[in-house]
Amino acid sequence: MGISEGRVVIVTGAGAGIGREHALEFARQGARVVVNDVDSPRQVVEEIEGMGGDALADTHDVSEPDGAQALVDGAVNHFGALHAVVNNAGILRDRMVVNMDPAEWDAVIKVHLRGTFLVTRSAAAYWRARDKAGTPIPDPRVVNTSSPSGLFGNVGQSNYGAAKAGIASFTVITADELSRLGVGVNAIAPTALTDMTAGLTAYVDKVRKDSEEAGFDVGSPANIAPLAVWLASPDSAGITGRVLTIKGGEIAVAETWVKGPRAVKQGRWEVAELGGIIPDLVARARDNSTISGESRG
């Protein structure tokens, strides 16, 4: 028996890449999987069925309220319950901010951030209704997908990074809001090579170099799935509101914004005073991190 035996799990954006690996690993661990993808979920469903698993293909657009609700309703109607959601669906529209069309900004924010919100909202409403009816779902879980681009920044990805940073904050807040229902809410920030990253030459080259040094494929999407599956399981009880980075064989807890060096006075600061205060505070503060999570200094 696997860690997900008897559980019903939705994975969005599961037709390829990281989402596909999530769906396959959930099936290996005993889950019945709803494979959501607007393009090609059927092939993954067939792979799961070929393994002896049980899966349902779903093509609803999770960035639309009706689509997100239909996804959740479909899982419950087909399998009789819903235990966990992995919000993985996403797109890229990389562009420097001075050249970015508003439509490129809106498209990325809509799929990543709005889609995560809508599916989580529908799933949480289902879990709350079951709780009120006296038939609570055991160990409900949400696993969101942030990114090092959102946590640490990456040139050319202001839309994608903003969406992924928003998902990290959304994770922290909804973990608090849904704790009374026993819902664990966490996020992963994965590094992997997929069709979405094919055009990011410097990023791809860095991951391939890391793979040579590590002696295994650091960029394989399959590296990410075990963490997502574990976080969506009952074994993750007590861990909520966290964002974890994962790259190859490395897992780390991404620590949230904290107050660094500070200056305090009684009363309001005057503009003329700040030139003697802010540079010193910044000089004593920890450097921002690179996309690899290392100091820029």
What is the tens place of the pLDDT at every residue in 117-175? 999 999 999 999 999 999 999 999 999 999 999 999 888 999 999 999 999 999 999 99
Q: Which of 146, 164, 203, 236 is catalytic?
A: 164
The question of whether 160 is a catalytic residue gets the answer yes
> 206 with 296, same domain?
no
DSSP state of 289: B
Residue with tokens 């696997």: 2
Q: Is residue 124 a contact partner of residue 178, using CB atoms and an 8 Å limit?
A: yes
User: Of the ranges 9-13, 18-22, 218-222, 229-233, which one carries the lowest mean pLDDT score?
Assistant: 218-222
Evaluate whether residue 2 is within a structural domain.
no
> 87 with 154, same domain?
yes
> 248 with 284, same domain?
no
Q: Which of 4, 63, 147, 149 is catalytic?
A: 147
> 269 with 210, same domain?
no
Say what the pTM is: 0.93
The question of whether 179 is a catalytic residue gets the answer no
Evaluate whether residue 1 is within a structural domain.
no
The question of whether 126 is a catalytic residue gets the answer no
CATH number of residue 46's parent domain? 3.40.50.720
Q: Is residue 83 a contact partner of residue 75, using CB atoms and an 8 Å limit?
A: no
Residue 123 identity: A
Residue 286 sits in which domain range?
259-297
Q: Which of 160, 203, 236, 247 is catalytic?
A: 160
> 284 with 192, same domain?
no
Evaluate whether residue 284 is within a structural domain.
yes
Which secondary structure element, helix H or strand E, spans residue 250, and what is its range?
A: strand 250-254
> 184 with 284, same domain?
no
> 165 with 204, same domain?
yes
Return d(Cα 237, Cα 123) in angstroms, integer. 18
Q: Count how many domains the chain has.
A: 2
